[in-house]
Amino acid sequence: MTSPMVASRTRLEVANEASDLHRSRLTGRWAVQLGAVLFVPHGKYLDATRIFQLHVPQGFGSMMFTHLASRTVYVDNDRYMGTEWLGHWMAHELGHLASNSTKEGDAEKVAREYRKRLKQSLVAKSH
C-alpha cells in the first residue's frame, strides 16, 4: 500500500477525505481543533511513541495516535492502509481530541458520529 507521502493520487484522496470531514460540519458538541496530522516513517513513529510514552491497551495495535497537548495526530507512514482505513481511524483520533480524553471508549463514542457524518457526506456527494 502506498502512503500519502508517496503517491500524489493518494494525497489527493486523503485531502478529499479531509474536505469531506470539513464539509460535513463537525461542529457543536463534537467540534474539534486539530493542530496537525503527521505521516512519519516507522522509526520516527516508534521514537514518538517512546517520547510521548504511548500506552497501547492490551489487544490493540498502534498505527496512529494523538498527542492531546499539541493536538497532533501521528500516523505510521509505513503501516498506512489506504483512504478507507485512514477515514475510519482518523475519526477515532479526532474523537480523542473532541472528548479531550485518552480513553478509547470516549474516542469511539465520538468517532461513531464522525463516521456517520462522513458516510452521509460521501452519499450526498455521489448523487
pTM above 0.75, yes or no: no
Cα separations in angstroms, 16 against 19, 23, 45, 66, 79: 5, 10, 25, 21, 21
Q: What fold is seen in the domain 8-126? A: Zincin-like (3.30.2010)
Dihedrals φ, ψ of 47, to 5°?
A: -60, -45
- Written as nine digits, the cell of 49 is 511513541
4-47: pLDDT as tens digits: 443 333 343 444 445 444 444 445 565 788 889 999 999 999 99
Query: What is the domain partition of the chain in residue ranges?
Result: 8-126
Alpha helices in the chain (DSSP H): 8-23, 42-51, 83-99, 104-126
49-85: pLDDT as tens digits: 999 999 887 777 799 999 999 999 999 999 999 988 9
